[in-house]
Amino acid sequence: MDLLARIDHWGTVAPDRPAHISEGRTLTYGELRAQSDALASWLSEKLGDNRAPIAVIGHKENEMLVAFLGAVKSGRPYVPIDLSIPPQRAERIVQNAGAALTLTPAAVREALAAPRATAKPKPVTGEDPYYIIFTSGSTGEPKGVVITLNCLTTFVIWTLGEQKFPELDETFLNQAPFSFDLSVMDLYSSLASGGTLFSITKEAIANPKVLYQAFTNSSITTWVSTPSFAQMCLVEKTFGPAMLPQIRRFWFCGETLANETAAQLLDRFPDAEVWNTYGPTEATVATTSMRVDRKVIAEHAPLPVGYEMPGTRIVIMDEKRASVPEGERGEIVIIGPNVSPGYLGRADLTEKAFFATDGTRAYRTGDWGRMRGGLVFFEGRMDGQIKLHGYRIEIGDIESHLRNLPQISDAVVLVVEKNGKPDSLAGFVVLRERGAGSDFEISLQFKKQLAERLPAYMVPRKFWFLEAFPMTANGKADRRKLAELLK
């Protein structure tokens, strides 16, 4: 499949069909094609042979899609940076990416208003990087996962084949920020099938009245979100077929889908299917999937994450990289053409997590899992990476930012659970010097300082102040003892 040609094709056969609807603004396939072509020429003229990535900073504006496609049509990968990422961290990402240029929606409009460039752009091909998504890194430095056109095409061929989306007929919910690779699932399934991408903004998500009104006006047929987001919507009694009369499927990825969430959705939406998919950003969004019907819910608790996508292999390995027998626990390793070539400019991190086997790329996920009857079961993380409301966070990332604050000498961050699910973060800190101000005031100050450096979802909700941390036998902060303080 020639992904870019396929997306452009809709601009020829259905130029008036909406490609993207966001905040009441519509971008048609005709406009997307014309504008991304024009932007690609503009970029080629401006940057010449410099094929460094294009950073794209914004939220859910129509121009984001124009910028993404404009970049790749000009032969450069894009780095999506959502507005939830504070400027300081965004700046680090732009630097680490070695970006040739940063585009914002306003900059895209400006470029399109400039006299038409005549340069003939050369789009990305095959093994060229297509996008680079930065995820939380355990040392406080975000790491850029390089996804090639081949990786993305492999993924899209799979989703179109498995879900059999009718052409020019679907409307996809886009809930995840474009800097989270879950959004790739709706964005490219939509663009490749001539669908309409229906975005909801962070402002709408924070305001239930606006959110449910948006759904009512949406004509969504395919719901893509984290299970947490659907769980939040299920609290609303009117969240049902009257609100989403055309819904065909709920398509989840990114974190554990609870049996209860799947069952509630099937009760509320008897005509819709529920799908669970699993995978890390490093292997292009998702590598396993399955439909979760009532039989599956009755047979499995917790739910499996599905079967491997054709053309890829999931192998459960022990620490010596030997595959373990069926049914035994080990690390989930993904082998296939959807696996990233590695982290941008970080050969050290790439070497730790990636390897090649029989000439095919492989990625050690750091996830515990096991296989039974071809089904993959996810059993938690082997390290300090967590998922909070769908967001991937390295606990070490937050801790290192806390330790860098001048008032703090040491810090530990723990996850606070509610009803058995991660709910918020707690920060434990040892202060260098107890200054003036109550615990509450000092906490507020830390939250403010952290919010300048990290997205809001990485800022602990509550802080505990200690003289010193309890220690384990080998002299590390005793996280178990600290967790007892939360009870």
φ/ψ (deg, to 5) at 179: -85, 0
Nearer to ligand AMP, 17 or 143 (CB): 143
* Cα distance between residue 165 and residue 172, in whole Å: 11
- Asked whether the beta carbons of 397 and 416 are under 8 A apart, the reply is no
Single out the residue of 196, 201, 191 nearest to residue 171, CA to CA: 196
Q: Does 287 bind ligand AMP (CB under 6 A)?
A: no
Q: Tell the smallest beta-carbon distance from residue 303 to ligand AMP (Å).
A: 8
Q: Tell the smallest beta-carbon distance from residue 145 to ligand AMP (Å).
A: 8
Nearer to ligand AMP, 51 or 392 (CB): 392
Residue 273 burial (CB count, 10 A): 17
- Amino acid letter, residue 326: E
Q: Tell the smallest beta-carbon distance from residue 141 to ligand AMP (Å).
A: 16
Only one of the segments 25-33, 50-58, 69-77, 272-280 lies at the binding site for ligand AMP (rule: CB under 6 A); that segment is: 272-280
Q: Tell the smallest beta-carbon distance from residue 101 to ligand AMP (Å).
A: 26
- Asked whether the beta carbons of 59 and 83 are under 8 A apart, the reply is yes
DSSP code of residue 457: G
- Amino acid letter, residue 351: E
Taking CB under 6 A as the criterion, the residue among 280, 330, 342, 455 binding ligand AMP is 280
Taking CB under 6 A as the criterion, the residue among 9, 392, 462, 479 binding ligand AMP is 392
Only one of the segments 229-237, 278-286, 462-470, 472-480 lies at the binding site for ligand AMP (rule: CB under 6 A); that segment is: 278-286
* Cα distance between residue 16 and residue 18, in whole Å: 6
Nearer to ligand AMP, 303 or 450 (CB): 303
Taking CB under 6 A as the criterion, the residue among 381, 403, 421, 447 binding ligand AMP is 381
Q: Does 254 bind ligand AMP (CB under 6 A)?
A: yes
* Cα distance between residue 217 and residue 472, in whole Å: 55
Q: Tell the smallest beta-carbon distance from residue 219 to ligand AMP (Å).
A: 27
Taking CB under 6 A as the criterion, the residue among 176, 305, 333, 344 binding ligand AMP is 305
In this structure, the dihedral spanned by the alpha carbons of residues 132, 83, 182 and 365, taken in order and rounded to 10 degrees, is 60
What would the two tokens of residue 232 be?
Answer: 């939040």
Only one of the segments 97-105, 238-246, 254-262, 396-404 lies at the binding site for ligand AMP (rule: CB under 6 A); that segment is: 254-262
Single out the residue of 417, 424, 431 nearest to residue 464, CA to CA: 431
DSSP code of residue 477: B
3-state SS, one letter per residue, for 28-72: EHHHHHHHHHHHHHHHHHHHCCCCCCEEEEECCCHHHHHHHHHHH
The size of the chain, in residues, is: 487
Q: Tell the smallest beta-carbon distance from residue 236 to ligand AMP (Å).
A: 23
Q: Does 255 bind ligand AMP (CB under 6 A)?
A: yes
Taking CB under 6 A as the criterion, the residue among 281, 284, 287, 443 binding ligand AMP is 281
Nearer to ligand AMP, 103 or 253 (CB): 253
* Cα distance between residue 367 and residue 386, in whole Å: 11
* Cα distance between residue 262 and residue 259, in whole Å: 5
What would the two tokens of residue 470 be?
Answer: 């309890």
Q: Does 130 bind ligand AMP (CB under 6 A)?
A: no
Nearer to ligand AMP, 104 or 276 (CB): 276
Q: Does 387 bind ligand AMP (CB under 6 A)?
A: yes
Q: Tell the smallest beta-carbon distance from residue 371 to ligand AMP (Å).
A: 15
Nearer to ligand AMP, 130 or 215 (CB): 130
Nearer to ligand AMP, 43 or 182 (CB): 182
List the x/- string, 200-219, binding to ligand AMP by CB under 6 A.
--------------------
Size of residue set near ligand AMP by CB under 6 A? 18
Taking CB under 6 A as the criterion, the residue among 131, 165, 178, 278 binding ligand AMP is 278
Q: How far is CA 101 from the centre of its chain?
A: 23
Only one of the segments 27-35, 48-56, 250-258, 424-432 lies at the binding site for ligand AMP (rule: CB under 6 A); that segment is: 250-258
* Cα distance between residue 391 and residue 322, in whole Å: 31
Taking CB under 6 A as the criterion, the residue among 65, 85, 99, 253 binding ligand AMP is 253
From residue 6, alpha-carbon distances to 124, 188, 221, 337 in Å are 14, 11, 21, 20
- Asked whether the beta carbons of 72 and 36 are under 8 A apart, the reply is no
Single out the residue of 212, 379, 180, 270 nearest to residue 250, CA to CA: 270
Q: Does 394 bind ligand AMP (CB under 6 A)?
A: no
Taking CB under 6 A as the criterion, the residue among 276, 340, 350, 443 binding ligand AMP is 276
Q: Tell the smallest beta-carbon distance from residue 135 to ligand AMP (Å).
A: 6
**Range 176-195, binding ligand AMP (CB under 6 A):** 181
* Cα distance between residue 312 and residue 291, in whole Å: 19
Exposed/middle/buried for residue 49 (C-beta within 10 Å: 0-12, 13-18, 19+)? exposed
Cross-strand bridge partners of residue 394: 385
Taking CB under 6 A as the criterion, the residue among 171, 338, 340, 365 binding ligand AMP is 365
Only one of the segments 66-74, 86-94, 188-196, 275-283 lies at the binding site for ligand AMP (rule: CB under 6 A); that segment is: 275-283
Q: Does 309 bind ligand AMP (CB under 6 A)?
A: no
Is it true that the peptide bond before 302 is cis, omega within 30 degrees of 0?
yes
What would the two tokens of residue 207 be?
Answer: 């305001």
Instruction: Summarize as ranges the residues that interact with ligand AMP (CB under 6 A).
Output: 135, 181, 253-257, 276, 278, 280-281, 305, 365, 367, 378, 381, 387, 392
